[in-house]
Structures are given as structure tokens and as C-alpha cells.
Amino acid sequence: MAWRLVCPRCGFRGEEGRYYHRCPRCGSPLEFEGERPRYGRLLGEGSTPLVYRETPLGPIGFKLEYVNPTGSFKDRGTAYSLQLARDLGYRCVVEDSSGNAGISTAAYASFLGLEAVVAVPRTAAPSKKSIIASLGARVVELDSREEAAKYAEAMAGRCFYVAHSVSAAFLEGMTSAGREVPEGSAVVVPSASFSLFLGIWRGSGGKVRLYAVQGVQNATLRGLVEPIAVGSGSTSSLADGLVLPSAPRAQEAADAIRRSGGGLVLVSDKEIAEATRDLWSMGLMAEPTSASAYAALKLLREVGVDVGGFIAVLTGSGLKFYDLVSRIRTLT
């Protein structure tokens, strides 16, 4: 049977072999039905190292997603999505992003010979915007992340909308990460759209314990899951990758937390800055959003959770943020 996309919420069934970034009837996330497309690696994404370090918290595993080709875990979902776009005959792709998804989209589109348009909020890091443009994509700056999403949505009729926060194709690409994590592991994942979080859950066959990390300002799981630990500050602006106004798959993520026996941790800038310094002192050049995973481990330890042997997923490279990381390292 050829694949189609279907909506578990309202029952919508798409045409065979046709892509929809979300349900056209109710707006919910879609799921594949039938024999979904299978794709190989394009630029060497995936199979990232899992390294262990002795830390004051005990032995901690670090899944180095920042060594993916464009410096973030997004390459897994982008590689799958853009191969699908190519096979469906699209000539252009569009994405809204605060940075990493846009960089990934631009790089893979360039490799595949596709036109790329990336809508970003004006607050996105200048370094990331420059990288996107250098990769040949057209960068469109909007006033907010919400406006960037609306712009991309409006282009979805003629371009393949990557839609990393909701797309079934993007999530399918993320499942490879779950197959690289040892069965039974406790895994701490910085989470905004939950594509990596749910990719690990699905790819592992539900055989891991998952902890989601969100910022105190932008916790889309708040109200769905009671946090185990909360940072001491009131802002979390250092973690730009955790800024997402809404997360269509938040309920699914909350269900995965409960089923796995994991939890939710909310971090603030105070803990993120300290964790960034800690990681760089270990030779782990993670961006502040990535460092939130280690910050969460420290908070869990403070509330009595034995985190020895836990795995922290370091989602993005700090080299894209070197100016910011330099400032963080000088703070006391």
C-alpha cells in the first residue's frame, strides 16, 4: 500500500502520496499510514557520538547532536523531509525558524538543488541569519516567531513547508535518534517543538525514560505536566531554541513523559549560563539551548534524583553562538 497522511484527531485521510504539513481540516499533526518512504543519509547526519564524562553529578552521557553536518539535531528531520520534497517534485522549500532549522533547511536545499526561503524573527541571532543567507537561502525577517510561522504557512501552497514543529515527515526523520540510545536509558532532552523528544521515544520503541527540558518563560508543557524541578530565575532568553509560542505535539509529549516514567524540568538563564560554562570546561562546545539539558540534570540532583548514568542530549553547536558564549563565560 502506498503511504498517505491521516489525522488521528478528526479522521481526515489525505490522498495517497500527497504531503500535508498539518491536517487541512482541523490543523492537528498528521501521521503516516501505509509503507512510508525510506531514505538514506545525505550529508552524514545521524550516528552521533555518545560520550561519557565523570562530573560532580556522577557519570553522565552526552549525546553530541551538535556534530551533525550543520551543527544541530535538525539535520535528521531535514534530510528526510527534503528528500521527500524532491521525490514529490517540489522545486522550493520554506521554513520558519529561530536559527538551527533554517540553517539545516538552507544547507540541504542547496545540496539537493532546491530553492529555499527561511522566515526568521528579527530577534534571531545575527550569526545564524548570516549562515542561512551564506548557504543560498532567501532570509525573510519578521517581527516575531508567530509572524514568521504565518509567512511560511502562506507559502505552503507552492513550496514544501518543512514545518519542523508539526510535520509527520520531519518527525519520521527524527526517529533515527531513538535507535542510537541504549535501551532503558534516562534521556534529558531540551524541547520546544518535541520533534527530537518524540523521535527518541518512537525510535526507541518506548524503551527509554524521558525528561523534557523547557525554559521558565516558554513552557508549553506547563499545565499538562507538573515540573519535577524549576530554576530560580524568571527568564530563559539565553535558550533561543526553547522559544516557541505553541507546540502542536505537546500533548503527545506529555503522554510520553507519563508512560516513560520521566518528567519535566524548567530552567532559567541563571542555570543555563552556569551549565554552558560547565560544558565548555569539559570540552563540550554546546550552545546555551543545549546546555539546558545539563542545567536540568543539576536541578534534578538538587531535588534528590540520582542522575548518575543519565544521558543529556546536546542539541546544537555553540560555535554559532561564540560571541554569546564568550560573554556567558565571563559572567560570575
Q: What is the DSSP string of 149-183?
A: HHHHHHHTTTSEE--TTT-HHHHHHHHHHHTTS-T
Comparing CA positions, the residue from 221, 217, 224 lying closest to residue 247 is 221
pLDDT of 98 above 90: no
Residue pLDDT, tens place only, 127-169: 889 999 999 999 999 999 899 999 999 999 899 999 999 999 9
Residue 187 lies in a domain: yes
What local confidence, expressed as pLDDT, does residue 284 receive? 97
Residue 29 lies in a domain: no
Please name the residue ranges forming H helices in the chain: 74-87, 100-112, 126-134, 145-155, 168-178, 195-203, 250-260, 269-281, 288-302, 322-330
User: Distance (Å, rounded) from C-alpha 264 to C-alpha 167?
Assistant: 23
For residue 190, what are the domain limits? Answer: 50-72+172-330
Residue 59 lies in a domain: yes
User: Distance (Å, rounded) from C-alpha 12 to C-alpha 22?
Assistant: 11
Residue 69 banded pLDDT, cuts 50, 70, 90: very high
What local confidence, expressed as pLDDT, does residue 39 receive? 97
Stronger pLDDT, 1 or 235, i.e. the higher one: 235
CB count, 10 Å around CB of 147? 16
What local confidence, expressed as pLDDT, does residue 256 receive? 98
Provide the grid cell at 53. Answer: 564524562
Averaged pLDDT score across all residues of the chain: 95
How much is the pTM? 0.96
Number of domains in the chain: 1
Query: How are beta strands 50-55 and 31-33 bridged, if at all?
Result: unpaired
Residue 321 banded pLDDT, cuts 50, 70, 90: confident
Task: Give the mean pLDDT of 262-273.
Answer: 97
Per 3-state DSSP, what percentage of the chain is helix, strand, and coil (rounded to 5)? 40, 20, 40
What CATH number did the domain enclosing 257 receive? 3.40.50.1100
Residue 165 lies in a domain: no
Task: Give the mean pLDDT of 240-250.
Answer: 89
Residue 142 lies in a domain: no
What local confidence, expressed as pLDDT, does residue 331 receive? 60
Task: Give the mean pLDDT of 267-293.
Answer: 96
Residue pLDDT, tens place only, 27-58: 999 999 999 999 999 999 999 999 999 999 99
CB count, 10 Å around CB of 9? 13
User: Distance (Å, rounded) from C-alpha 30 to C-alpha 126?
Assistant: 33
Residue 136 lies in a domain: no
pLDDT of 322 above 70: no
Residue 109 lies in a domain: no
Residue 5 banded pLDDT, cuts 50, 70, 90: very high
What local confidence, expressed as pLDDT, does residue 233 receive? 95
Residue 245 lies in a domain: yes
User: Distance (Å, rounded) from C-alpha 311 to C-alpha 60?
Assistant: 6
What local confidence, expressed as pLDDT, does residue 243 receive? 83
